[in-house]
Amino acid sequence: MQNKRSVCENCKRPTKVCYCPGLPKEKLSLKADLVIFQDPREDKQAFNSVRLLERSIENVTIFKGRVFFEQQFNNPVLLYPSKNASNTLPEHVGTIILIDATWKFAKNLYNKNPWLKNLPTVVLQPVHEPIYAALRKPPKEGLISTAEALILILEFIGDLDNSNSLRSALKYAVDAEPWQKEVYEKSNNDS
Ligand SMILES: [Zn+2]
């Protein structure tokens, strides 16, 4: 029997559900830089899509915390469903900014960092069936994982090679998971 605690060093998932073979062979260089503000609670999730992004993308910066200093970004756009959010992207996007948190905590983070409200903000309608919904049910219809939000925005800015690579990496990782659930349920019932 395989050791239950055997964990992949790279993706930190149990080796049975390691998704590394699905990651891009070389880290992707996105057309726009990616910045993610992550609620620390989100990083504790066994499966966090930002970890997958971190291992797949060259030009990504992740800030962990709840309150952040105001920063300057090159032609930024924040993906967040605020009241004033536009549903079209500015012509040139230099930096994509995402908030990684459950809906409630994303709202807290947005409100605790008022400077975020000054950034051009967009909300985009998903064009595909969510890949991730099977794994962690979104709290609201139409809400998607951070990785899927990025994939969507890359499609909108025409960075299609990278959006396709990320989509297949995410799909690989999600497809690996249900089996793991069964294995865990079984091992818990047996003990
Ligand atoms: Zn792995």
Distances (CA, A) of 174 to 2, 6, 82, 117: 21, 19, 29, 33
Residue 33: closest CA among 67, 71, 66 = 71
What number is the average pLDDT over the span 101-105?
A: 84
pLDDT tens digits for 27-70?
Answer: 999 999 999 999 998 878 777 889 999 999 999 999 999 999 99
Least confident of 9-13, 69-73, 119-123, 142-146: 142-146
CA 51 – ligand 1 centroid, Å: 11
Confidence at residue 46, expressed as pLDDT on a 0 to 100 scale: 75
Q: Where are the domains of the chain?
A: 35-123+136-175
Q: Quote the CA–CA distance of 175 and 17 in Å, as a whole number.
A: 9
Q: Which pTM was predicted?
A: 0.85
CA 176 – ligand 1 centroid, Å: 11
CA 20 – ligand 1 centroid, Å: 4
What number is the average pLDDT over the span 80-106?
A: 91
Res. 139 pLDDT band, cuts 50 70 90? very low
What number is the average pLDDT over the span 159-172?
A: 94
